[in-house]
Structure 1
Amino acid sequence: MDNLLLSRLQFATTTSIHFLFVTLTLGLVLFVAGMQTMYVITGNPVYRRMTKFWGKIYVVNYAVGIVTGLVMEFQFGLNWSGLSKVTGNVFGVPLALETVIAFFAEATFLGMWIFGWDRIRRGVHLALIWLVALTAYVSTFWIMVANAFLQHPVGYEIRGDQAYLTDFGALLTNSSLTDTLLHVISAAVLAGGLFVAGVSAWHFIKRTTEADLFRRSMRWGLITAVIGALGVIHWGFLQEVVIEQNQPAKLARLHPEPGSLAAVQQALAQQFGPGDWAPPSWIAVPYQIMMNSSFLMLLVLLVLVVLLFRNWVVRLRVPLYVLVAMVPLPFVAVIAGWLVREVGRQPWTVYGLLTTEKAVSDLPAAVVLISFVGFTLVLGTLAVVDYLLIVRFVRKGPDDELFGSTLDRVSAERAGVHTF
């Protein structure tokens, strides 16, 4: 294996693992904020317990995900120095903003929320979790701004051999940004909803004593997952209009028709010179996985939402097992979609501006192999740790002690006594 292939494999592996954390984090934070809002409005202690149960899982996933994000940032300088050198003045701006938000603002608000239980006013404490949610989505926005530049570079000019930012507004209105951002957000909402519904279903399978808590959680999860699935499909298809304009070879691979790719290749050869400017044909496979699994999830979820009537989801039992089995599907679809978007712009790192071959660092293949193995082991271990911790807290059930409640207060809430 050469330097280029190893660097691409390393980036694909680490990004895929990191994206799993991000997807669940973005999905869960909305549930935690929404449940705490209901607690503050109604005073019903079951919403407090819901907030703390799902909040524990959110905090664990967020904490481990932050570490994987650090590895992602490190790779740009290590493996892709050509990208940093040529487009760092443009590409680095949204990345820097994302870093400031994710590692400072978001983490600060989350820390205050974790340690603020029963120590600060309820309204202020509620505002903190909504600020966590807001900064999480603002952070996602800046990441997608950076990624949209790679897909369709705008707002820059070349001086010498470097790109310089000339129009910040053009980055924010990039045609490759809006639909993709909403598609990613919808995927996170779908993943979070199915996760909450699936975990709740598992507790019903195990004959939980917290029926009220998990019944409410399941309803929230199923209804939210339907909204997410509809958004995924809607914004996903809208992206194809932009892809046809900006990356016609990708669309020709996704929807192969006789002669279409040859015509696109001829047009691209006139634009960029002789060469093969089409992505690999296998991207059609993850595209089909993403698309078909999205439709499957939507159809099943619509049936399950109907079965919420008179609690048939729980009474029939079979839907509970279906929900548990569906939990991994959004994450499979997310990775498939990422492969389509990123591999689909090959052989470019910055489409039409910088090829992947020129973007990679000039490192010996042995060095890249060592970093590939090392990063994969670290991130793989973190993923396993994250999974084991989540499973542990899921099995343990709604135990409020993590966020500092006294045992007396926990007992009071389980007895249905309102405490503020």
Structure 2
Amino acid sequence: MDALDVARWQFGVTTVYHFLFVPLTIGLSVLVAILQTMWHRTGNERYLKLTKFYGKLFLINFAMGVVTGIVQEFQFGMNWSDYSRFVGDVFGAPLAIEALVAFFLESTFIGLWIFGWDRLPKRAHLASIWAAAIGTNLSAYFILAANSFMQNPVGYRINPDSGRAELTDFPAVLTNKVALITFPHTLAGSFLVAGSLIVAVGLWHVIRNRDSADTGAYRFATKFGSWVVLVASAAVLFTGDIQGKIMTDVQPMKMAAAEGLYTTESPASFSVLTIGSLDGSREVFAIKIPYLLSYLGTGDPNGTVHGINDLQAQYATQYGAGSYTPIIPVTYWSFRFMIAFGMAAGAIALLVLWSQRKGRTPSSRWLLRAGLAMPVLPLLANSFGWIFTEMGRQPWIVFGEMLTRNGVSRSVSLAEVLTSFTAFTLIYATLAVIEVKLLLRYAKAGVPDVSEQPPTDDTDDAERPLAFAY
């Protein structure tokens, strides 16, 4: 084990941990805004209760996401300084815009939304949560544009003197075809997570507090969240299909590794289960669906999909001697876990809707257990999706331009990386306990009492002190 191995583990652990909060923040910001819009248009008190209830869970998650996200920036300088020098000119623009525009839009209007209850005019307060939601989604786009450069470098040139990538076409970076499909795919996955949380919390209250005066609000929440999950599931499949075709075009090795396809095939079969040799160089046993991989990869049932061994030979000729094959079991199984966990969440959402058909009240303990597992399933799907995306690109840190081993900080020792890795892991473990306890405490508390809400119009209340509404 050397500093490179530990640096990769540290970045993987901290990134996956941070991304547990990101999709929930993205999805809940919009869903809370929708609930508040429904209250604004109808005046129905249950929508106000749900807005405040799920808004509190959103704020807890948002705060934790901000804290854990800061570490990501530090790691570029600490452990990956050579990589930072190489991509700094390209990444500077999208990440600066993300921080100076999207994040400030997001954080400023979240503050107005938190403290603006009963002080801002009703429409202005509603606009603040929508502005925060827009900022959250814009932030995601600029970060994904930077990540997409690593998958499919565009809009740059390599300076022969410094060896650095220099930005030549910023619009090309923002309109990278990988970014244009990764963004909606990520949004769909985020709504899958947020909708699942709404279902899980609402279903728990429906089954455990059947005689509550707020049962109607919880029943609506479970239906609302279930429909969000189903629509998001369809969007994930649609965008994932397009993403697969683009991936086959720009990163054929990743698609071949995802399917355990060792030799070029036309037509190519989709692998339901493949067992390879211990060295990952050949197929031993496989269960396949004919023509499906060709369609998923090229849009043509008879299309050609290049295999791992043929691509390895091609890359060795193009880039020099060495292995250009990712860890096949990781890419193969992470791809399938991503799909399986996402589909499981959609299936549970269907069961929840079926259990409430014609006004029925769900009561099954098995349904409750399945519902409580719902938020975890899409979180796992999102995490495995990113593991597949990043591990399938290996050994490249910037595809075709920079190997991962060349991006690590040369001046950082193994002991230093181990120290920071251990410290961050312990801190993140502590934060995880805090996050879970806070979410469970406020989720169990239920919707707030809003029967005595102060006026939300333009009445002069300048003398009233600023108050935190939660």
Query: Which amino acid is the alignment partner of residue 326 of structure 2?
Result: P
Whole-Å Cα distance in 1 between the matches of residues 61 and 186 of structure 2? 18
The equivalent of 1:335 in structure 2 is 383
Query: Which amino acid is the alignment partner of residue 119 of structure 1?
Result: R
Query: Which amino acid is the alignment partner of residue 175 of structure 1?
Result: K
CA shift for structure 1 position 67 = 0.7
The equivalent of 1:195 in structure 2 is 197
Whole-Å Cα distance in 1 between the matches of residues 379 and 342 of structure 2? 11
CA shift for structure 1 position 197 = 0.4
Of stretches 131-140 and 163-172 in structure 1, the one that deviates more from structure 2 is 163-172
Which residue, 443, 452, 455 being the options, matches 1:412?
A: 452
The equivalent of 2:168 in structure 1 is 166
Where 1:349 maps in the other structure, the secondary structure is strand
Whole-Å Cα distance in 2 between the matches of residues 131 and 315 of structure 1? 39
Whole-Å Cα distance in 2 between the matches of residues 63 and 23 of structure 1? 13
Whole-Å Cα distance in 2 between the matches of residues 269 and 14 of structure 1? 32
User: Is 1:279 matched with 2:313?
Assistant: no
The equivalent of 1:21 in structure 2 is 21
Which residue, 318, 326, 337 being the options, matches 2:374?
A: 326
Deviations 1:214-258 (A, max 9, x none): 111111100001011111122122211111111111111111234
Which residue, 296, 302, 317 being the options, matches 2:344?
A: 296
Mark the CA change 1:124 to 1:419 in structure 2 (over 3 Å): closer, same or farther.
Answer: closer
Query: Which amino acid is the alignment partner of residue 387 of structure 1?
Result: V
Query: Which amino acid is the alignment partner of residue 268 of structure 1?
Result: Y
Which residue, 390, 398, 401 being the options, matches 1:350?
A: 398
Of stretches 135-144 and 317-326 in structure 1, the one that deviates more from structure 2 is 317-326
Deviations 1:323-349 (A, max 9, x none): 112221000111110100011111111
Of stretches 228-237 and 337-346 in structure 1, the one that deviates more from structure 2 is 228-237
Whole-Å Cα distance in 2 between the matches of residues 85 and 149 of structure 1? 15
Which residue, 309, 312, 315 being the options, matches 1:262?
A: 309
Deviations 1:250-296 (A, max 9, x none): 11111123422111111111221111111111221111111122233
Deviations 1:364-395 (A, max 9, x none): 00000001111112222222211111111011
Decide whether the 8 Å contact of 2:196 with 2:226 is kept in 1. yes
Mark the CA change 1:419 to 1:147 in structure 2 (over 3 Å): closer, same or farther.
Answer: closer
Q: Which one has the bigger helix percentage?
A: 1
Decide whether the 8 Å contact of 1:313 with 1:320 is kept in 2. no
CA shift for structure 1 position 313 = 5.5
The alignment's TM-score, normalised by the length of structure 1, stands at 0.93
The equivalent of 2:272 in structure 1 is none
Query: Which amino acid is the alignment partner of residue 17 of structure 2?
Result: I
The equivalent of 1:387 in structure 2 is 436
The equivalent of 2:425 in structure 1 is 376
Whole-Å Cα distance in 1 between the matches of residues 147 and 344 of structure 2? 28
Q: Residues 42-57 of structure 1: matches in 2 within 5 Å?
A: 42-57=42-57
Decide whether the 8 Å contact of 1:233 with 1:294 is kept in 2. no
**What is the number of residues matched between the two proteins?**
408
Decide whether the 8 Å contact of 2:191 with 2:232 is kept in 1. yes
CA shift for structure 1 position 399 = 2.5
Where 2:165 maps in the other structure, the secondary structure is strand
Where 1:38 maps in the other structure, the secondary structure is helix
Decide whether the 8 Å contact of 1:307 with 1:313 is kept in 2. yes
User: Is 1:154 matched with 2:154?
Assistant: yes
Whole-Å Cα distance in 2 between the matches of residues 284 and 317 of structure 1? 35
Where 1:314 maps in the other structure, the secondary structure is coil
Q: Residues 171-320 of structure 1: matches in 2 within 5 Å?
A: 171-208=173-210, 209=212, 210-259=214-263, 260-282=307-329, 283-312=331-360, 314-315=362-363, 318-320=366-368
CA shift for structure 1 position 311 = 3.2
Whole-Å Cα distance in 1 between the matches of residues 199 and 348 of structure 2? 13
Where 1:192 maps in the other structure, the secondary structure is helix
Decide whether the 8 Å contact of 1:6 with 1:369 is kept in 2. yes
CA shift for structure 1 position 418 = 9.6
Of stretches 371-380 and 107-116 in structure 1, the one that deviates more from structure 2 is 371-380
The equivalent of 1:403 in structure 2 is none
Query: Which amino acid is the alignment partner of residue 147 of structure 1?
Result: N
The equivalent of 2:271 in structure 1 is none
Decide whether the 8 Å contact of 1:269 with 1:275 is kept in 2. yes
Q: Which runs of 5+ in 2 are unaligned?
A: 264-306, 458-470
Q: Which runs of 5+ in 1 are unaligned?
A: 401-409
Mark the CA change 1:290 to 1:188 in structure 2 (over 3 Å): closer, same or farther.
Answer: same
Whole-Å Cα distance in 2 between the matches of residues 154 and 219 of structure 1? 43
Higher relative contact order (CA 8 A, sep 6+): 1
Decide whether the 8 Å contact of 1:313 with 1:319 is kept in 2. no
Identity of aligned residues (%): 39
Decide whether the 8 Å contact of 1:109 with 1:132 is kept in 2. yes
Where 2:384 maps in the other structure, the secondary structure is helix
Whole-Å Cα distance in 2 between the matches of residues 325 and 299 of structure 1? 12
User: Is 1:8 matched with 2:15?
Assistant: no
Query: Which amino acid is the alignment partner of residue 50 of structure 1?
Result: L
Deviations 1:89-113 (A, max 9, x none): 0022212222224542211110011
Of stretches 328-337 and 99-108 in structure 1, the one that deviates more from structure 2 is 99-108
The alignment's TM-score, normalised by the length of structure 2, stands at 0.84
Mark the CA change 1:63 to 1:369 in structure 2 (over 3 Å): closer, same or farther.
Answer: same
Where 2:447 maps in the other structure, the secondary structure is coil
Runs (4+) off by over 4 Å: 315-318, 417-420
Whole-Å Cα distance in 1 between the matches of residues 365 and 316 of structure 2? 58
